[in-house]
Chains A and B, each alone.
Chain A
């Protein structure tokens, strides 16, 4: 056997924020001491960024295109402008929810200072909140959105796509959910399937440790 070096037998591995079967993208794993860092990163409550692809004209029971068909509708009345109006309203109501769930008394001067800087966000478990949502591509019947959110699940994002379809008086299903950023880890830090070997993993851990340390110090003090 041409394998040399130390044997790794007892490895404790943990996973960061969940990614369900139909979604793809960045999934953060921690090894050994990294599990403690994972818990700290979770308590930082950073936002995650997804690209969500949708398709107008269909409505299914599990909001994705592989589900059982519920209804088909027309969609030729939908324009990019209408979609962006709906997205602006979603962003507005979620911004309100962001301020409400952050549990700061609105009457204090420090609440005003934080709101000006945009640093208010809930530091405890809260319902899913979308901080930024915008349309990247729009060509009927397909469209692609970029969503920055926190405390969400991928099924919640599919439900958002479905509700956007309803709001535009049509229907929509979600075709793709891809996480492109999880807190401080982006697609550039992620390892491809072909790179799942020891050397790349070690390099990746080495490159990220500074980033993780600064972020935890900045948020948790």
Chain B
């Protein structure tokens, strides 16, 4: 090549025609490098493979989230109490929602005092799972793996509860409810099953002197009501049953009048309530502590039980009311009510939320107690000029906290943050409604004393 250029420089004019040189180091396999033209980029983009992560008919998944105090095992995650690696420490509190894996779709959940019940409306044999405290057999008899004659006192993960059903593959469990040391399970065709502590007759059977409740196999079935039972509610040591005809039955401890039967003794057989609700079609009853509320189909509110915290002070000065009384609040037609330990909350047809009672009611630290319902401004639940159709759809109460579900599936909590039960990530009390960040649309929430369970649908 050097010879040719010298020749060209010397001769000047003609140069031998250059043969097209093959590109260096090319074996005919690789393409040349360099910036791609726009056409090449576009062609490469069109030829790129399309990934499909989810098909057109993808269904939303149902999930369960739990948070609160872990040590009793009520959250159902064994690694919180007994860590699976030696260096990990047991977690005492779960301050934010944690996903609980379940085999079946859970349709109803209830939180008691240190234990939880989950139920599914499937026709499989296993319909109810329980976890947490079992010192009074409120989760039935859980046979211990180590010793076949003894039962577990603490159940750390959701364990099936064996119900003595006549038709286990046809009956469905509709709802569960938990009290302090007893629980109720409602089925569609076989009545109500009750388990746990019966020292005040709250399980609906006769009180047996010196009965030992731990490791007990007794599950009592209740069938004698005027019609089918459609809702069961557990108070602290009493039980309420609402039937299809709109009647309310009660049994259990009555020293605060929470059985509403006109006396302050214990009742061990479910008895129908009279008073102001006689003849009224009740569509919802609620209780968690010692006060009870009932909502009728016309939007009226009735209450009975403990009134030490001004829950019923609008109708009476006495601190115990043992017969249902109508509460004449002028706040509109009531759609739903919830009773807590010291405070009550109602939801009206217009979607407004009213609170009264004692404690952290949700209107700032200045409102500690009131006998007359006060409305919580809807702007705290996300209502604004940009979102005028957001309103609260459900209200729930734990012992010292309140929860509200909006129609968009957001969960707002406020109240006493006992051992992290609010799930907001902090351990301080919350004086006005605060959002809980849950990765999904919250469909149902159950509040307990120091933990909460929520049933959530995923977004997509």
Partner-B contacts on A (CB < 8 A): 57, 69, 71-74, 76-77, 82, 85-86, 88-89, 91-93, 95-96, 106-109, 111-113, 115-118, 132, 134, 167-170
Task: Convert B33-56 into 0s and 1s, putting 1 for each residue whose CB lies closer than 8 angstroms to a CB of A.
Answer: 000000000001100111111111
The answer to whether B460 has its CB under 8 Å from any CB of chain A is yes
Whether A82 contacts B460 by the Cβ 8 Å rule is yes
Residues on A with beta carbons closer than 8 Å to the beta carbon of B430: 106
Known: A85-B409, A92-B435, A116-B380. A74 touches B441 (CB 8 A): no
Q: Closest CB of chain B to A115's CB: distance in Å?
A: 6
Which B residue's beta carbon lies closest to that of A170? Answer: B53
Note all chain A residues with C-beta closer than 8 A to B387.
91
Residue of B nearest to A134 (CB): B386
Give min CB distance, B8 to chain A, whole Å: 45
Interface string of B41-73 (1 = CB under 8 A from A): 000110011111111111000000000000000
19 pairs of residues in contact across A and B, judged by CB atoms under 8 Å: A72-B48, A73-B51, A73-B52, A73-B53, A74-B53, A85-B408, A88-B409, A91-B382, A92-B437, A93-B437, A96-B437, A107-B429, A109-B366, A115-B380, A115-B432, A116-B377, A116-B380, A167-B459, A170-B53
B53 surroundings in chain A (CB, below 8 A): 73-74, 169-170
**Which 9 pairs across A and B sit closest by C-beta, in order of nearness?**
A112-B364, A169-B54, A74-B52, A169-B53, A109-B364, A72-B50, A116-B377, A132-B386, A109-B366
B431 on the A face (CB < 8 A): yes
Chain B contact patch, size range = 35 or more
* Residues in A whose Cβ lies below 8 Å from that of B379: 115-118
Q: In the complex the two chains form, what is the Cα distance from A73 to B410 in whole Å?
A: 29
Q: Which residue from chain A places its CB closest to the CB of B376 in the assembled complex?
A: A116
Tell whether, in the assembled complex, residue A72 and residue B58 are in contact, meaning their CB atoms are under 8 Å apart.
no
List of A residues within 8 angstroms of B45 by Cβ: 69, 72
Residue numbers in B under 8 Å from A92 (CB-CB): 382, 410, 435, 437
User: Within residues 300 to 348 of chain B, which ones have a CB less than 8 A from any CB in chain A?
Assistant: none
| Candidates B50, B380, B431; contact of A106 at CB < 8 Å | B431
CA A107 to CA B416, docked complex, whole Å: 12
Contact, CB under 8 Å: B50 / A73: yes
B50 touches A107 (CB 8 A): no
Q: Which residue of A lies closest to B57 (CB)?
A: A77
Q: What is the CB-to-nearest-CB distance from B359 to chain A, in angstroms, rounded to a whole number?
A: 15
Nearest opposing residue in chain B for A86, CB measure: B459
State the total of A-B contacts with C-beta under 8 angstroms: 94
A92 to B390: give the CA distance in the assembly, Å: 12
Q: How distant is the Cα of A114 from the Cα of B138 in the complex, in angstroms? A: 45
Q: Does the CB pair B51–A74 fall under 8 Å?
A: yes
Q: Report yes or no: A88 in contact with B408, Cβ–Cβ below 8 A.
A: yes
In the assembled complex, the CB of B457 is this many whole angstroms from the nearest CB of chain A, namely 10
Which of B53, B365, B382, B409 counts the most A-chain CB atoms under 10 A from its CB? B53
| A85/B364 in contact, CB under 8 A | no
User: In the complex, what residues of B have CB within 8 A of residue A107's CB?
Assistant: 365, 428-429, 431
Q: When chains A and B are docked, how far (Å) is the Cα of A118 from the Cα of B54?
A: 38
CB distance from A36 to the nearest CB of B (A): 32
Q: Does B363 contact A (CB under 8 A)?
A: yes
The distance from the CB of A91 to the nearest CB of chain B, in whole angstroms, is: 8
Residue numbers in A under 8 Å from B54 (CB-CB): 77, 169-170
Contact present for B56 and A77 (CB under 8 Å): yes
How would residues 401 to 414 of chain B score, 1 for a CB under 8 Å from any chain A CB and 0 otherwise? Answer: 00000001110000
Chain A residues in 8 Å Cβ range of B170: none
Task: Name the distance in Å between A3's Cβ and chain B's nearest Cβ.
Answer: 44
When distances are taken between beta carbons in the complex, the residues of chain A under 8 Å from B44 are 69
Return B238 CB to nearest CB of chain A, in Å: 35
CA A76 – CA B56 in complex, angstroms?
A: 6
Contact with A along B65-109 (1 / 0, CB 8 A): 000000000000000000000000000000000000000000000
Interface centre among A115, A132, A168, by most chain B C-beta atoms within 10 angstroms, is: A115
Provide the bound-state CA to CA distance between A76 and B58, in Å.
11
Q: Which residues of A contact B410 (CB under 8 A)?
A: 88, 92
Contact status B55-A77, CB under 8 Å: yes
Report the bound CA distance from A171 to B53 in whole Å.
Answer: 10
* Interface contact A89-B459, CB-CB below 8 Å: yes
Chain A: minimal CB distance from B167 (Å)? 39
B123 at the interface (CB under 8 A from A): no
When C-beta atoms are compared, the residue in chain B nearest to A58 turns out to be B45
Q: A88-B408, A134-B386 are in contact. Are A112 and B432 (CB under 8 A)?
A: yes
Judge whether B384 is part of the interface by a CB distance below 8 angstroms: yes
**In the complex, chain B residues whose CB is within 8 Å of the CB of A73:** 50-53
Most chain B beta-carbon contacts within 10 A, residue among A74, A106, A108: A106
Q: Which residues of B have CB within 8 Å of A69?
A: 44-45, 48
Interface centre among B50, B379, B429 (most CB of A within 10 A): B50
Given A74-B50, A88-B408, residue A169 in contact with residue B460 (CB < 8 A): yes
Least distance between A90 CB and chain B CB atoms (Å): 11
Q: Please report the C-alpha to C-alpha distance between residue A17 and residue B49 in the assembled complex, in whole angstroms.
A: 40
Please, how many angstroms separate the alpha-carbon atoms of A86 and B460 in the complex? 9
Which residues of the other chain, B, contact A72 by a CB distance below 8 angstroms?
A: 45, 48-51
Q: Are A95 and B377 in contact (CB under 8 A)?
A: no
